[in-house]
Structure 1
Amino acid sequence: MQPQPHHAATVGEIIDRLSSCDRNAPFFLAINPEFPHVHFAGEIVTARDGQGGQVVFLGEAEQGEILPPAIAQALTWHPPTVTASLSRLASRRSAGPA
């Protein structure tokens, strides 16, 4: 079976996906499988595409801590052994020099 090509989600699709979530829950972006960190959502900017239709961009405000291993696994970015190694590495870095 061939993987489905990605398409730009519509604003309506994103609203539908988020409608079952707690409105007060923190919202983060998970962006890079090779360097999985939490990213804070930033500004929302609208523009026009080549045909005059509106497009919407959600910017990144800043990068936070390493993405929790369970989230990277749920996104199928890493098998458990890889995310566990990243977590150990992050723990060693945050602990400082030995």
Structure 2
Amino acid sequence: MESHPHETTVGDILDALSASDRDTPARLAINPFFPMSHRLGGVVEAVDEQGRPIVYIAESPEAEQFGPLPPAVAVALAWQAPPEAPPRRRRGATGPSADQ
């Protein structure tokens, strides 16, 4: 199994998390086609099929799902396109009717 051109590394995650307050809860965003938010579980270091070290971040053992991912998060992850404003319709004239 070949790795992707740029796999997210532990360093990437640490850099991204370093901007957040240490007491802020962290959650997993799962499934780009039906984005859901899940509670984090454990972190396990292992080796892959080629013997390289790899870190797994797991879902909670209780498999606690918080519900749909906020749309802004799905957009930030590029899992969904930004919503488009609905088309504007021309409004009718206001004021007294010409019949009066």
Q: TM-score per shorter chain, which class?
A: 0.5 to 0.7
- RMSD between aligned residues: 2.0
Partner secondary structure for residue 78 of structure 1? coil
Change in Cα spacing, 1:13 to 1:78, as seen in structure 2 (3 Å) is closer
The equivalent residue for 2:39 is 40
Name the CA distance, whole Å, in 1 between partners of 2:24 and 2:66.
Answer: 17
Q: Which residue in the other structure is 2:69 paired with?
A: 67
Larger radius of gyration: 2
Q: Report the CA distance between 1:53 and its aligned residue.
A: 3.4
Q: Per the alignment, do residues 52 and 20 of structure 1 end up closer, same or farther by CA in structure 2, a change over 3 Å counting?
A: same
Q: 1:32: how far off?
A: 1.1
Alignment map for 1:9-88 (pairs within 5 Å): 9-61=8-60, 62=63, 63-79=65-81, 80=83
Aligned to 2:24, the other structure's residue is in SS state coil
- Number of positions where the alignment pairs a residue of Structure 1 with one of Structure 2: 77
Alpha-carbon shift at residue 24 of structure 1 (Å): 1.0
Would you tell me which structure has more helix in proportion to its own residues?
1
Q: Unmatched 5+ residue regions in structure 1? A: 82-98
TM-aligned CA distance change 1:50 to 1:33, over 3 Å: closer
Deviation at 1:51, TM superposition (A): 4.7
In 2, the alpha carbon distance for the partners of 1:48 and 1:75 equals 27
How many angstroms apart in 2 are the aligned matches of 1:28 and 1:6? 25
Residue by residue over 1:45-94, the C-alpha shift from the partner in whole angstroms, topping out at 9 and shown as x without a partner, is 1112345432111111122211111211222222326xxxxxxxxxxxxx
